[in-house]
Chain A
């Protein structure tokens, strides 16, 4: 196994007086890897970043950077580049001065730090705006300056705290690619905290899902989407049809909308289960053999450009689906290999 650049080992932390705590955090970022931490508000994802950066000190556990225990080390000695949600550019400094600042505190002489800062600004496409103050830059430009400032001193790892949340949708997509490009070019281990699951799934090598101060599941974006371990992860990551059910046999489960045929079910007959079907797995029309076919009434139909999202009300529930077909919808079927059966209980 590759040694990690940044690791949180069995870390616990409680906010005094609030009752909120994170506990049992085990998280590692390998060299060159981008790990995204996602979760709802109050799940503890920002706390993970603050613990890694040194803004909070854990009550238990260790923070390890490049093999060294830095749990008690102050943030300034950790050599981590941090990009803050609000960018935190120094308002009295130009873009160039902001980017040069970490070099200045490291004692790099004036000419060299100017050269390095300009090179970094050129890398993010802002060399022409080097003399502008933060209030003379757009949100996207400020974000690029913040990224350049966090990378210019070649930190051991990069921490991104919801760096795209203040940008509009179009710019967000562009900046995702920009961050990923720079991260890959520098080969830098990156911990990216975000509430935007689409951002996490599209950028990260691995995603950690947090809930109520604990890690609910960690894995590649595909693993999380296709093999969620709990009902909560299934509902949090992507859109999902979720029905309660009981396993009837090795390939069938009884749900509120009827008997559903599935691939191999790893639960014994009689076991309570949650059935997951992603909307894109629902097909229009009846199955040739009639399995998992449902007739119903279209209750919602949303045109989203390339796709169309619909809700079909059937006996016992609603099936959410996605299609590019523009025709009428009254019968759908779910191929058995699109039916996933997750153990019920534990997580709601």
Chain B
């Protein structure tokens, strides 16, 4: 088993290693590894205004997507968890999971049709991009939260809090949020990583000034190999940054979670 795991990890790591090596290689033409060592590809990416803007857009979109999915995901997950009727539970689950079954491309075309009309001429705006990312990522956070609610038997905890005199908002702040901090944190890490790496839908609905990083990255593949590698490595670092930030936020929430006696 160990060698299978080792081979698989090597298979996963190899492209990343090659990207990093390529991003600091001077020339890379029909050889196993590039020749020379340089940092100029990173400088070129940095000095390119469209990449810099895309970098900021991606962070903005990921942050906004995290906020909106948290605000929508918590009540939606609780509705699915606590729905008395099986039919309601099944319908809510279907709605939440539908975006996973529908390819982002199809969803993108839907957004183009709706938001390019005279009634809703918002195609290309940052908020349409955020809305698209929310639809794509919401199922992941909802699934994580519902599983945690079941594991914690949140309904009983809330009944206990209510019997002890806690009002609705108090139960939410004292019980729901601290109890779900780990799943909410890990769900948001997934949402941030998916949002930062999303291409298909973003390519269709983003405007010229709201193109996120993966869409702009496509241009890099038509230029020098070193430039493409540097631009892709930055995307990897961006996704990693999102994941680490999400993990730290979850851990921070965990440390701050316990109520004072």
Contact = CB atoms under 8 A, between A and B. Distances in A.
Contacts of B260: 97, 110
Interface residues of A, number: 37
Contacts of B259: 92-93, 97, 101, 104
Contact of A101 (B152, B161, B167): B161
B152 A55 contact: no
B233 to A, nearest CB: 39
B178 interface: yes
B257 interface: yes
Contacts of B257: 92
B159 A88 contact: yes
A153 B164 contact: yes
A313 to B, nearest CB: 48
B159 A84 contact: yes
A94 B257 CA distance: 11
Interface in B175-195: 175, 178-179, 181
Interface string A103-117: 011100010011001
A10 B159 CA distance: 25
A75 B159 contact: yes
B178 to A, nearest CB: 4
Interface of A: 16-17, 53-55, 74-82, 84, 86, 88-94, 96-97, 100-102, 104-106, 110, 113-114, 117, 149, 153
Most buried by A among B152, B160, B179, B261: B261
Contacts of A93: 258-259
Interface residues of B, number: 26
22 contacts: A54-B163, A75-B159, A75-B163, A76-B166, A76-B167, A77-B165, A78-B163, A82-B160, A88-B153, A88-B156, A90-B161, A90-B175, A90-B179, A91-B179, A93-B259, A97-B261, A100-B261, A101-B259, A105-B166, A105-B170, A153-B164, A153-B165
Nearest to A99: B261
Contact of A88 (B84, B160, B167): B160
Contact of A105 (B152, B153, B156, B164): B164
Contacts of B84: 16
Q: Considering the complex of A and B, which 10 residue pairs feature the smallest CB-CB distances, nearest first?
A: A88-B160, A102-B164, A100-B261, A82-B163, A92-B178, A105-B165, A97-B261, A75-B162, A88-B156, A96-B261
A117 B260 CA distance: 12
A88 B157 contact: yes
B162 A76 contact: yes
Contacts of B164: 76, 101-102, 105, 149, 153
B26 interface: no
B261 to A, nearest CB: 4
Contacts of B157: 88, 90-91
Contact of A102 (B165, B179, B181, B258): B165
Interface of B: 84-85, 152-153, 156-157, 159-167, 170, 174-175, 178-179, 181, 257-261
A104 B173 CA distance: 13
B88 to A, nearest CB: 12
A86 B160 CA distance: 11
A113 B261 contact: yes
Nearest to A87: B160
Contact of B163 (A16, A76, A94, A100): A76
A54 B159 CA distance: 10
Given A94-B258, A117-B261, A84 B165 contact: no
Contacts of B85: 17
Nearest to A50: B159
B165 A106 contact: yes
B91 to A, nearest CB: 16
Given A76-B163, A110-B261, A114-B261, A86 B153 contact: yes
Contacts of B258: 92-94, 97
A80 to B, nearest CB: 6
Given A77-B165, A96-B261, 10 more contacts: A16-B84, A53-B163, A54-B163, A76-B167, A82-B160, A92-B179, A94-B258, A105-B165, A113-B261, A153-B165
A32 to B, nearest CB: 21
Nearest to A104: B259
Contacts of A94: 258, 261
B156 A86 contact: yes
